[in-house]
Structure 1
Amino acid sequence: MTDDHAAVMAELRALATAAMDRIEPLLERALEVAAAVAEPDPDAPADPGAGCGWCPVCALVALLRGESHELLTLVAAQVAALLTLVRTLLDEHRPEPSEEGPAADPTPNRRAFVPIRVQTRDNPEA
């Protein structure tokens, strides 16, 4: 990997980490709201939209109202698991910091252009 590639990878890693840092509080809040909603009171009147646990429109309305919804809870849990997986992968493939910097790579770049000098002589026998 060249220095340019390492710089791009470092920037992408920083961008992914920043995005996950912003998304995680929203997911935590959604999961808290879902956990805070108590079981419905059996004596309370039935809610006409209570049986719609799969509809994305109802989920969006519940999100705007700050209410819990089955679909929102499921999506938030799945996205939280995905973010955990991405963070784990980023941590596993983090480059080891070296004191000498990226220029001190012990393996030479085998694809680099190496100029050579070619000398030709006239063959008197030909």
Structure 2
Amino acid sequence: MKNCPCGLPAAYRDCCGRLHDGQVKAGTAEQLMRSRYSAYAKRLAAYLRETWHPSTRPERIDFERGLEWTGLTIERAEGGSPFHTEGTVEFRARFHQRGAEGEMHEISRFTRYDGAWVYVDGKVE
């Protein structure tokens, strides 16, 4: 059993895999954030576009060659629960590229759109 890329102690098929294949929708902004990280790790462009707000969604998603996502840490999550319409998730995503380790630090904004959580935009720190 291989753990989910999002960092939770569960198999991919029981964690983000259920969101990626459409079995369930994210219940919180943090859950959507984790599933989007996993989608980047697995290069699932269709899922990323589907969970991106239409007003900020790019025409296409290109994945950098040689970039491997290696870990996710959620720093904080505000709002984004089933009782909210907006949420913010601050995270650090670690990666390996061209023989070097790196980290991306972002504060992401999420909102509900047509009853589902979607990514609006993020500020890279």
Give the TM-score normalised by structure 1: 0.21
State the structure with more CA Rg: 1
The structure with the largest helix share of the pair is 1
Give the TM-score normalised by structure 2: 0.21
The structure with the largest strand share of the pair is 2
Higher relative contact order (CA 8 A, sep 6+): 1
